Amino acid sequence: MLSPAAYVGLAVAGWLSYQWYWFRQNLKKVSAIPTIGSDGFIGSYLSAWKYFVSGHKMIEEGYRKYPGGAFKVATFETPSRWLIIVVGPKLSDDIRKASDDYLASNEPTIDALQMDYTFGTDRPHTAAHHMQMFSRPMTRNIAARFPDVQDEVVNSFKELLPASEDWTSYTVMETILPIVTRTSNCFFVGLPLCRNREYCLTLEQFAVRLMMSAYAITLSPSFFRPIVAALTTNVHTTQKKLRSFLGPIIQDRLRMYEDSGEDNEEKPNDMITWLLDLASEDLRTTEDVVARLLISNFAAIHTTTISLSDVLFHLAAYQEYIEPLRSEIDSVISTYGWSKESMVRLHKLDSFMKEVGRMRGVNNVTSQRKALRDFTFSNGVVVPKGFTVGIASSAQHYDSTIYEEPELFNPNRFLPERLQEKHDGRNLATSTENDNDPSSQVKHQMVSLDTNYILFGVGRHACPGRFFAVNELKGMAAYILLNYDLKLPNDEKVPPPGQHFGSARSPNPSAKILFRKRRT
């Protein structure tokens, strides 16, 4: 009779044999696509760890080696253990044009966050009305709600980053995060809840824990994942806590629907109303609305915190651009006030932010899609069913065939030509575009989609919250510029380097900036 150790050995040997067989079968399907790193059974796991630590360098290598083509990297981020990455605007356009029947946009998020385990059957992305909410009522109401959001920007900064007469050091991301949470939730759920520190802290802590849980689940054998999920995830406890805050509000809103119907003009203009307006009857529940508010906050808070932190690091490093930006903000705000229209007219600030996004960004690979059936690109590359594909965005943003001197920080790069100024000895063109028509400038702005600039992705599945995010970023950056002086420690002139984790990127969470009250 076999000993317990022998049984364990047989089980391990059986599991390894299955993993080897599964690996070989998957590899065969994508063998025609070149690999950055190893494609061996053991070597691919080592490459996956390398991708987690320095994936941006592997992406840059693939971008250089296979222009206009595709390559693959081993990764823990996808169920197939491979991520196929395409290079260049032409293949990006293929992704833009692909139908949902071939390339699904929500599946990579489900896989990366292990939502079958972390959220279980109550997954907030499964109903179409959630995405419709972003692209329709949320975007349409930015102008109407912008004054409320900007008031919260002012209150948040006064409370959490008070302007002192002396230089005061702040850890940027740590300081900005609660401000972004408050201002975003002013738009999402309004006062007074957006100022409730316990409510906001629950949202802030959720994202970090969710990502840690997702990685722990991903690295576990499939048979062990339910146990790992139970031990690590905080989704259900977070939802329970949020229901204590949001439940009474949602129930009042549902009673309003019962009493007055959907056309009641007294309904508050917030995300709760927008979700309920679009939801089918069976999804008009406290549990469903809370789940969707949670995932909306997850998508909004940390990406906006990353983006604003990067903008502040560049403002602190490149002091010479502060006064021109202040002059523009003063001129626009004095004429149009703090409004969405004024944000559209802040061309220099928009170009500054867009250039920061080009050089830094949130993801090294954007527009990830999962093939629901074999998909063939225009150059003949085939992505088999079940595999994930994305665009090498960070590497493309440093492509010298697309951007002149891409290593140079040029905050005027994305200005409409008529507004471009003489900078660093280069004569920039002028044109006769209409100064008084902000709509004529939209094609230049950060929110615009372009297969050369893919910070927000491409096509109809590009980030639907980008319109609110960019207006929120402008409002906060403009307020800071008008009310604070800022600089890097030791008067450094180079923004601190960021950190990379697989396909993701963020600023250094411990990096600091010195602030003081603006001296005029």
Residue 101 included in any domain: no
Contact 90, 454 (CB under 8 A): no
Mean pLDDT of the region 50-57: 94
Q: How confident is the model at residue 20 (pLDDT cuts 50, 70, 90)?
A: confident
Name the phi and psi angles at 466, rounded to 5.
-65, -30
The four Cα atoms 273, 114, 364, 153 give a dihedral, to 10 degrees, of 30
Would you say residue 334 has pLDDT above 90?
Answer: yes
141 and 21 share one domain? no
Question: What are 347-397's pLDDT values in tens digits?
Answer: 999 999 999 999 999 999 999 999 999 999 999 999 999 999 999 999 999
Residue 68 included in any domain: no
158 and 10 share one domain? no
Q: Which residues pair with 82 in a beta bridge?
A: 74
Residues in CB range of 25: below 8 A, 6 or more apart: none
Q: Provide the domain count of the chain.
A: 2
Write the CATH number for 337: 1.10.630.10
Q: Give the model's pLDDT for residue 425.
A: 35
Question: What are 130-170's pLDDT values in tens digits?
Answer: 888 988 999 999 999 999 999 999 999 999 999 999 999 99
Q: Note the pTM of the prediction, 2 decimals.
A: 0.91
> What are the helix (H) ranges across 196-344?
197-218, 225-232, 235-260, 271-278, 286-317, 322-336, 340-344
Of 68-72, 169-173, 209-213, 311-315, the range with the lowest mean pLDDT is: 209-213
Q: How far is 235 from 403, CA to CA, in rounded Å?
A: 42
Q: How confident is the model at residue 15 (pLDDT cuts 50, 70, 90)?
A: low
CA-derived radius of gyration, the chain: 24
Q: Give the model's pLDDT for residue 127.
A: 65
265 and 375 share one domain? yes
Q: Give the model's pLDDT for residue 419.
A: 59
Q: Give the model's pLDDT for residue 426.
A: 37
Mean pLDDT of the region 37-55: 93
Residue 73 included in any domain: no
21 and 141 share one domain? no
11 and 149 share one domain? no
> What are the helix (H) ranges across 30-141?
41-65, 89-97, 107-112, 115-118, 128-133, 139-140
Burial 208-247 (b: 16+ CB within 10 A, else e): ebbbebbbbbbebeeeebeebbeebbbbeebbebbbeebe
Q: Give the model's pLDDT for residue 441.
A: 56
Q: Give the model's pLDDT for residue 131.
A: 83
Q: How confident is the model at residue 422 (pLDDT cuts 50, 70, 90)?
A: very low
Mean pLDDT of the region 294-314: 95
Residues in CB range of 322: below 8 A, 6 or more apart: 315, 481
Q: How confident is the model at residue 184 (pLDDT cuts 50, 70, 90)?
A: very high
Q: Give the model's pLDDT for residue 444.
A: 77
Mean pLDDT of the region 399-428: 75
Would you say residue 483 has pLDDT above 50?
Answer: yes
365 and 232 share one domain? yes
Residue 386 included in any domain: yes
Q: Are strands 168-171 and 512-517 parallel, antiparallel or unpaired?
A: antiparallel
Would you say residue 269 has pLDDT above 80?
Answer: yes
Residue 58 included in any domain: no
Q: Give the model's pLDDT for residue 418.
A: 54
Mean pLDDT of the chain: 90
Residue 119 included in any domain: no
Neighbours of 347 (CB within 10 A): 22
Would you say residue 313 has pLDDT above 80?
Answer: yes
Which residue range(s) make up the domain with 10?
1-27
Q: Which long-range contacts (CB under 8 A, 24 or more apart) does 319-326 make?
A: 319/487, 321/352, 321/411, 322/481, 324/348, 324/421, 325/349, 325/352, 325/481, 326/481, 326/482
> How buried is 324 (Cβ within 10 angstroms: 0-12 exposed, 13-18 middle, 19+ buried)?
middle
Single out the residue of 203, 195, 273, 216 nearest to residue 242, CA to CA.
203
Q: How far is 499 from 219, CA to CA, in rounded Å?
A: 21
Q: Give the model's pLDDT for residue 123.
A: 60
Name the phi and psi angles at 513, rounded to 5.
-135, 145
Q: Give the model's pLDDT for residue 358.
A: 97
Would you say residue 433 has pLDDT above 50?
Answer: no
Contact 365, 81 (CB under 8 A): no
Helix, strand, coil percentages for the chain (3-state, nearest 5): 55, 10, 35
Q: Give the model's pLDDT for residue 289.
A: 94
Binding residues for heme: 463
Q: Give the model's pLDDT for residue 353.
A: 98
Would you say residue 219 has pLDDT above 60?
Answer: yes
Residue 64 included in any domain: no
Integer angstrom CA distances of residue 489 from 64, 167, 170: 35, 10, 10
367 and 254 share one domain? yes
Binding residues: 463
Burial 65-98 (b: 16+ CB within 10 A, else e): ebeebbbbbbbbbbbbbbbbbbbbbebbebbbeb
Residue 505 included in any domain: yes
The residue among 423 and 50 whose pLDDT is bigger is: 50
Mean pLDDT of the region 28-50: 94
